[in-house]
Chains A and B, each alone.
Chain A
Amino acid sequence: MNSGVQNKMNTKTTIPFGPQHPVLPEPLNLKLVLEDEKIVEAIPAIGYVHRGLEKLAEVKDFHQNVFLVERICGICSAQHAMAYCQGIETLMNIEIPDRAKYLRVIFAELHRIHSHLLWLGLFADAFGFESLFMQCWRDREKVMDIMEATTGARVVISINAVGGVKRDVSSEHLAEIVTICDTVNEDMKKMEGAFLNDYTVRHRTEGVGYLTKDQAYSLGAVGPMARACGVAQDLRTKGYAAYGKLGFQPAVEQTGDCWGRTSVRIKEVYESCRLIKTAIATLPAGDIAVPVKGNPNGETIERVEQPRGEVLYYIKGNGTKNLDRLRVRTPTFANIPTLLVMLPGSQLADVPVLLLTIDPCISCTER
């Protein structure tokens, strides 16, 4: 081979992946440096949907901010509001009724199920398994239907308020939620085989996007990203809201690849169904909220486990109805740095599947 041809073959190529790409529901850009089909360097770039919501929170009062934080991300809206309300309640020394704590858990876990089913569907679509995509989203519709029946909305359900929850759930609707959990549980058992055991699907997921346990931990990975690498961190083990009374155990895998992340999310769907059914079976009677008097003062940190992992709220009140500072660190913000390690060494054709396994939520990330 002459030297000219040799030099051309060794040339590095830089290509942009995104911000608009069929696999991305939201805009994210990756600058990929390639040698042939192999990635040698990757730089993620965001900044397409920054809305300045943290600044807006300083001019809304602390009750209005519940509506604001729900709109940081639709898919995790219940958990955003839950984290914010828990933080304000800590600042104001408010103890909410037990029934409200259980209802918060029920809606948070319904959100986790619909988020994971959304992701599983998108993931199936990314590797071209469209019937599996439709099966996932068919079950997700059932979850969204019951959220609409109980709260009036399918995604941004606005159930949380400072001091408790806004609406109670009737016994008929609770029975319907149990039926839906049983259906989702049974359907997931059928779909699990396709996601985890199918020969062609395993070729797309096994060994792809590998991350060691130490890398995941030192890069600050959270949620299913960390748990798929054997890092058993899940804030629900801290027992906030009613989790301490429901016997929660985190789902963990050791493989550290795309297969492991899929497996963790499937296990979490089963666990969410179990948590909801246990919460409904032991749901205490009583009030769903307490009156809120005064304004928040002081600073606090609140953390909650969202479908994508840990969300952190830093809240600083000044004794007035407005906050001095509301800071939100979302799970995708924590998981993006893992791309700096996972992408180099991967094949270009694996990027869509690999990128999806961090379950990127860019509106969350940029706020």
Chain B
Amino acid sequence: MIANINEISIDRLLGETQKLAGQGYRFVTTSCTDLGDGKLDVLYHFDKDAELQNLRIKADRGDEVPSISKIYLCAVLIENEMSELFGLKVAGMAIDYGGHMLLAPEALKTPQAKITIEQRGAK
């Protein structure tokens, strides 16, 4: 139901983001969803004249995703949040809060990630 979604591979993320920045798009945010099979779905939302353009990547939990904060500095907060709450590895963030932007040191790691009862028992 979402219009203007461009599904891309991780290695095209920086190029496509740069292209949107060149076209005058404003970075809005990202929406990360744990698909439950070790995969994360990440939607990057951009706005121009109140119309959204979206980039979608699918990442395995161990994959490293490049930070877009060198193109859009404002992405730094949401990238830190995805890293903390979902365990998404984001490489090259302009400011790295070291996993404690939202979470206290004693908090459960990656609380938004889907976790099986077996995995929770092993922790």
Contacts and interface: CB of A to CB of B under 8 A. Distances in A.
Interface of A: 43, 45-47, 50, 52, 54-55, 90-91, 217-220, 233, 235, 237-238, 298-301, 303, 310, 312, 314, 316, 324-325, 327, 329, 333-334, 336-337, 340, 366
Contacts of A325: 31, 33
Nearest to A338: B74
B74 A219 contact: yes
29 contacts: A45-B97, A47-B100, A55-B111, A90-B1, A91-B1, A217-B26, A218-B72, A218-B74, A219-B74, A220-B26, A233-B47, A237-B50, A299-B2, A300-B2, A303-B52, A312-B29, A314-B31, A314-B45, A327-B31, A327-B32, A329-B29, A329-B31, A333-B78, A334-B29, A336-B77, A337-B73, A337-B74, A337-B76, A340-B73
A220 B103 contact: no
B101 interface: yes
B95 A43 contact: yes
Instruction: Enumerate the 3 nearest inter-chain pairs by beta-carbon distance, A residue then B residue, closest first.
Output: A220-B74, A329-B29, A314-B31
Instruction: Provide the main secondary structure of the chain A interface.
Output: mixed
B6 interface: no
Given A47-B102, A366-B102, 17 more contacts: A47-B100, A47-B103, A52-B111, A55-B111, A218-B73, A220-B26, A220-B27, A233-B47, A298-B1, A301-B2, A301-B31, A301-B54, A325-B31, A327-B32, A329-B28, A334-B74, A337-B77
A264 B72 CA distance: 26
A46 B26 contact: no
B13 interface: no
A55 B112 contact: yes
B78 A329 contact: yes
A336 B95 CA distance: 13
Interface in B37-90: 43, 45, 47, 50, 52, 54, 72-74, 76-78
B74 to A, nearest CB: 4
A91 B2 CA distance: 10
A46 B50 contact: no
Contacts of B101: 45-47
B1 A299 contact: yes
B104 interface: yes
Contacts of B95: 43
Contact of B29 (A91, A233, A324, A333): A333
Nearest to A55: B112
Q: Which of B45, B78, B101, B102 has the most CB atoms of chain A within a 10 A radius of its CB?
A: B102
Given A47-B100, A47-B101, A316 B26 contact: no
Contacts of B43: 314
A219 B54 CA distance: 18
Q: Which of B1, B95, B97, B104 has the most CB atoms of chain A within a 10 A radius of its CB?
A: B1
Interface string B10-46: 0000000000000000111101110000000001010
A46 B45 contact: no
A238 B49 CA distance: 10
Contacts of A310: 28
A54 B28 contact: no
A312 B33 contact: no
Contact of A50 (B72, B77, B102): B102
Given A337-B73, A340-B73, A301 B33 contact: no
B26 to A, nearest CB: 6
Contacts of B50: 233, 235, 237-238
Nearest to B51: A238
Contacts of A337: 73-74, 76-77
A334 B73 CA distance: 11
Contacts of A334: 28-29, 74
Contacts of A52: 111-112
A54 B102 CA distance: 13
Contacts of A238: 50
B70 to A, nearest CB: 12
Nearest to A215: B73
A108 B9 CA distance: 40
B29 A316 contact: no
A310 B28 CA distance: 9
A47 B98 CA distance: 13
Contacts of A47: 100-104
Contacts of B27: 220
A233 B50 CA distance: 7
Given A90-B1, A299-B1, A312-B28, A333 B77 contact: yes
